[in-house]
Amino acid sequence: MSETESPKLQEITAAMKSTKDRRMFERYQAVKLYLEGHLIVQIAKIIGRSRITIGSYIHAYLAKGLSGLERKHSPGRPSFLSEIQKQQVKQVVSQQRPEDVGFPAEMNWTCPLVAAWIYRQFEIKYTERGVLDLLHDLGFSCTRPTYTLANANAEKQEDFKKI
């Protein structure tokens, strides 16, 4: 760092050197370029982000300093289902089988089946990933079926494990 750099430039340069997070580095870089006198339009072109994004970094820095640049957890898009509808999904998945609600005989609920049930019930389309996230939020977890052979020889299995 040169002695002619302002304290703010020194602070942002030190932050850039200390971070291992690429996104934080980008935010620090945008602010550094701004403090060096570049226009937001120029910074956006250099970094490859929109003027709005760069402007939000600058605004956050000017309002709260380095702490304003910290990334917050994004809550994501609001759920398509109301809380009552979510509880209906939870009740159906936990207490009924797919065949109980009109699907062909299946052993267990799958994401595509849950998505189909939600669409049939509420006319709301969900992707498989969306169903997976919804079920996770409702307290469910994914499990994969494991199979055991009904006529397996326990003695031979133990011998095999020793090999």
Express each pLDDT in 110-150 by its tens digit.
Answer: 999 999 999 999 999 999 999 999 999 999 988 776 776 66
Question: Do 57 and 87 belong to one domain?
Answer: no
Q: How far apart are CA 110 and CA 58, in angstroms?
A: 46
Question: Do 63 and 91 belong to one domain?
Answer: no
Q: How far apart are CA 87 and CA 136, in angstroms?
A: 13
pTM above 0.75, yes or no: no
Q: Which of 36, 69, 102 is the last residue of a domain?
A: 69
Residue 162 lies in a domain: no
Express each pLDDT in 70-115 by its tens digit.
Answer: 987 766 778 899 999 999 999 999 999 999 998 887 678 999 999 9
Q: How far apart are CA 111 and CA 129, in angstroms?
A: 8
Burial status of residue 38 (CB atoms within 10 A of its CB: 0-12, 13-18, 19 or more): middle
Residues 6+ apart with CB under 8 A from 55: 40
Question: Do 15 and 54 belong to one domain?
Answer: yes
Instruction: Write out the residue range of the structural domain in which residue 109 sits.
Output: 83-137
Mapping DSSP to helix (H, G, I), strand (E, B) and coil, where does residue 126 land? Answer: coil
Residue 160 lies in a domain: no
How many domains are contained in the chain? 2
Residue 145 lies in a domain: no
